[in-house]
Structure 1
Amino acid sequence: MKPRALATLIAAGIAAGALCLALSSCLRSPDDVVHAEDHDAFWLWAGVQAQPVLDRARTLYLLEGEIIGGEPAHLSHRRAATPRIAHADVWIVYRADTLNWSEDVAPAIRTDIARWRGNGNRVVGVQLDFDARTRHLDRYVDFLRDFRAWLPRDTELGITGLMDWSANGNPAQLSRLTGIVDEVVVQTYQDRTTIPGYERYLERMRDFPIPFRVGLAQGGAWRAPPDLATNPQFRGYVVFLVNPLR
């Protein structure tokens, strides 16, 4: 092929590619992306920069510490100071790598609750972020029952949940969560990416026995299943805020 003809072909290919990108951008609905501005409940993790949407939030899930380490595990706090939030309900969040806690973890969480409330925060509950595998759900329910006994009576207990619970979870074990857990936030993402096929999992939430929210990743793909809004246990969304990509 002659150089001039080759150059013409390359230029045509570049133009066609640009046109395809433009068309796909135009055809993609804004509703397919999670915009934090469209929501009023947020997770804020350690190391994530505060965003303007937090100023009008109605509910905030704020990471206070992680239960990590050896056997047994210990509580490691992730905040240099206790925040003061007057405009939103607050859930204090603890990320747990294990359920084999040392004896001082639960009392330390009670101390955290008192300190946060003493600083003017409307603490409605404690959320545990633990990836309980579906086949071990029975052990997790036992743990939650015992942990619930440590919480003040006016403090709700929330947990994060895997979408797989709705598909493969034992209905009897899920029913045991009633009366122990006040809220489950079902995570539809991994890191920044929405998990493919989330629609099929959420369709099976129609018989979920306790109130739940759906956790979304900021900037992730999302289109609400048609029956989600009419589910009597559905309580809305929580957006996991992320730092901008560099």
Structure 2
Amino acid sequence: MWVALAALAMAGCGKADPDRVEAARYDSVWLWAGVRPTDAVRKASTVYILDGEIRGRPARFAPLRIAMPKAPNPHLWLVVRTDTLDWPAGAHSDIVARLDRWAAAGNRVDGLQVDFDAATRGLDGYADFLSRLRSALPRRYKLSITGLMDWSANGDPAALKRLGGIVDEVVIQTYQGRTTIPGYEAYFRRMKGFPLPFKVGLVDNGRWHEPAGLADEPNFRGYVVFLLNDR
């Protein structure tokens, strides 16, 4: 009897948790500097790779990767994280040169992603910045941005529509640090009719239960998982 109970307990412990985010289940991931590549990276069809940051006063580009990626199979996005929209002179041309070097190395480079926490009330100014950036990018490169869940609830519809004419996608972040933001379901109830092509960003090992109706949204393009090192 005790043997049977122990076996049942072990089986229960090994049962997959459907609400825990496991990167291996998804085909798109973010790979940040300092995070060890895992099987999820090697299996992914799309990888967003943090290449550097534009930060400081005055702002400057700080590279975060020593080696250039060499991955001919997945689609790659070069990610630039920034805490300012006051970019230094030459930043646009420098980023295009980095994209070109990635492509020349044999990578399938889709484009540039800007990781910036634009305030919901500042979306119109953000659109001005992105419009200038889009003009500087060759058409062979797409433009992606990260976005906040609050955009869906309180974003100005006109500003969101304007962004839709500039960027190719927005990846809505549902986490902070290593943890899924509680109450995300309420934000996604307001996603109906979201006017931009969008993906949903999840954090590895976070909690996620897909809200009703999300998969039916015409502009929904799937998920991206933010990878973390094991503690």
TM-score tier, shorter chain, comes to over 0.9
Q: Please list every run of at least 4 consecutive aligned residues from structure 1 whose deviation after the TM superposition is greater than 3 angstroms.
A: none
Structure 2 residue aligned with 1:40, among 13, 27, 36?
A: 27
Alignment equivalent of 1:222, drawn from 199, 208, 214: 208
Q: Percent identity?
A: 53
Rg larger in structure: 1
Q: Say which SS state the counterpart of residue 160 (structure 1) adopts.
A: strand
Cα distance in 1 between the residues matched to 2:100 and 2:28: 23
Corresponding residue number in structure 2 for 1:183: 169
Structure 2 residue 131 is matched with structure 1 residue 145: yes
Give the number of the structure whose residues are more often helix, by fraction.
1
Aligned to 1:10: none
1:20-58: CA deviation from partner (whole Å, max 9, x where unpaired): xx8xx87x9711100111101000001111101111110
2:145 aligned counterpart, secondary structure: strand
Cα distance in 2 for partners of 1:235, 1:55 equals 21
Residues 29 and 206 from structure 1, CA distance in 2 versus in 1: closer, same or farther, beyond 3 angstroms?
A: farther
Rounded Cα–Cα distance in structure 2 between residues aligned with 1:106 and 1:47: 25
CA RMSD in angstroms comes to 1.4
Residue 57 of structure 1 contacts residue 87 of structure 1 at CA under 8 Å; is this kept in 2? Answer: no
Matched letter for residue 54 of structure 2: I
Structure 1: gaps of 5 or more residues: 1-21
| Equivalent runs, 1:33-182 vs 2, <5 Å | 33-71=20-58, 73-182=59-168
Q: Match for residue 205 of structure 1?
A: 191
Q: TM-score, normalised by structure 2?
A: 0.92
What is the CA distance between 1:181 and its match in structure 2?
A: 0.5
CA–CA distance in 1 between the matches of 2:159 and 2:229? 37
Paired residues in the alignment total 220
Give the superposition deviation at 1:139.
0.5
In structure 2, list runs of 5 or more residues that go unmatched: 1-8
| Matches of 2:63 and 2:213, distance apart in 1 | 40
**Deviations 1:168-209, CA, capped at 9 Å, x for gaps:** 110110000122010000000000100001011112111211
Q: Deviations over 1:128-178 (max 9, x none)?
A: 000000111111011000110010111100000000000011011000012
1:194 corresponds to which of 162, 180, 183: 180
Q: TM-score, normalised by structure 1?
A: 0.87
